Copies of this chain bind each other. A is one copy, B any other.
Amino acid sequence: MFNLNVLSKKDIQSLLKMNDVIDVVESAYSQKASNRASIFDWVFNEFDPGVADMDIKSGWLKDEGIYGMKLVSWFSKNPEKNLPSIIGVVMVFDDKTGKPIGLVDGDYITGMRTGAAGAIGAKYMARKDSKTLLMVGTGHISKFEIAATLIALPNIEEVIIINPINAQVATDMAEKLKDVLRDEFDITREFEVKSIDNIEDAVRLSDIIITATPSRKPLIMKEWLKPGTHLSCIGSDMPGKEEIDPNIFKEARVVVDDLEQCKHIGEIEIPFNLGIIDNQSISGEIGDIINKKINGRMNDDEITVFDATGTALLDLVTARLAFSIAESKKVGTTVEL
């Protein structure tokens, strides 16, 4: 019999601060790149292709002494039933005994750690004088990307939002953004925000681009990019997904969160399949930069790309952080198992 700590979405919303999540996600990347963490096999099932699926990501962080899993489902017709389309749970276990440490809603954790991931790519690979962030996509994850990037990069002065399909959604999001970032992430610093209808115009203005869409064709063409632009590609997390022109990879400096996973489901999948890049084209893992094994960028003019497909390690360290804070603040529910 065990006591299991359960944290609801409401609980972790009150517990997790983005700057702390950025720290633990960096640490997870660092541990992975130095082989102190491992990712287990990915489980994926489509209930109805293109309509409903689920996946299980799992892994182990030796330094943290934890392992665990995240199960996330996507049922695209849920909103018609007044349910969220994404539902997830994260479970964390102790790696010395197998004792469950806790269970937590996986949706908010996913938002926080994915926001941190995109921002960490920009923090380590973008030009230090980057001023303009372009957020491509206005879904659930975009506010997390913007919040994390504004926190990780104090020099950002302007945020541009684009929805490649429905411009009005981007306009609405831009209007509310400052309130959302203040209310949900305590971000009160000055910055400009606007939406732009034309993606080419938006790309030409931007120093850092974060893509987080469900796209299956390139949204951003190579010839639109300013020299020195950084792209954090977040949206591609499944075979066939693609957000940027494969030709960008011909000359870009490319870093991944996990090479095998990215080749299978990430933004580099299609350029790999097209023969545009091979293993030698990948400079390393983001954790190698954090560990100072490689540089984030070699000069101010090169295009840099971070392909982030997301691993259970990010969920586990973020969940573990939430459990630690919850324990000290006496938040959450304990159930007997």
Chain A residues close to B by CB (< 8 Å)? 1-2, 4, 6, 8-10, 38, 40-45, 47, 52, 54, 56, 58, 60, 67, 69, 71, 73-75, 78, 81, 83, 87, 89, 91, 93, 95-100, 103, 105, 333, 335-337
A45, B38: Cβ atoms closer than 8 Å: yes
Cα(A1)–Cα(B2), bound, Å: 24
- Knowing A87-B98, A97-B78, the reply to whether A10 touches B58 (Cβ < 8 A) is no
A71, B45: Cβ atoms closer than 8 Å: no
A337, B98: Cβ atoms closer than 8 Å: no
The answer, among B8, B45, B71, B98, for a CB contact under 8 Å with A54, is B98
B71, A6: Cβ atoms closer than 8 Å: no
Q: List 19 A-B contacts (CB under 8 A).
A: A1-B10, A6-B6, A6-B337, A40-B43, A40-B44, A40-B56, A41-B41, A45-B67, A47-B67, A54-B67, A54-B93, A56-B56, A69-B69, A69-B71, A83-B97, A87-B98, A89-B337, A103-B337, A105-B337
What is the chain B residue whose CB lies nearest that of A73? B98
A98, B81: Cβ atoms closer than 8 Å: no
Report which residue of A9, A38, A103 has the largest number of chain B beta carbons within 10 angstroms of its beta carbon.
A103
- Tell me if A's interface is mostly helix, strand, loop or mixed: strand
What is the chain B residue whose CB lies nearest that of A72? B98
- Knowing A1-B8, A45-B67, A67-B54, the reply to whether A81 touches B103 (Cβ < 8 A) is no
B97, A81: Cβ atoms closer than 8 Å: yes
B99, A87: Cβ atoms closer than 8 Å: yes
A335, B6: Cβ atoms closer than 8 Å: yes
What is the chain B residue whose CB lies nearest that of A38? B45
Contacts of A98 in B (CB 8 A): 52, 54, 73-75, 78, 87
Q: What's the minimum C-beta distance from A152 to chain B, rounded to whole angstroms?
A: 29
Contacts of A335 in B (CB 8 A): 6, 8, 333, 335
Contacts of A45 in B (CB 8 A): 38, 40, 58, 60, 67
Q: What's the minimum C-beta distance from A6 to chain B, rounded to whole angstroms?
A: 5
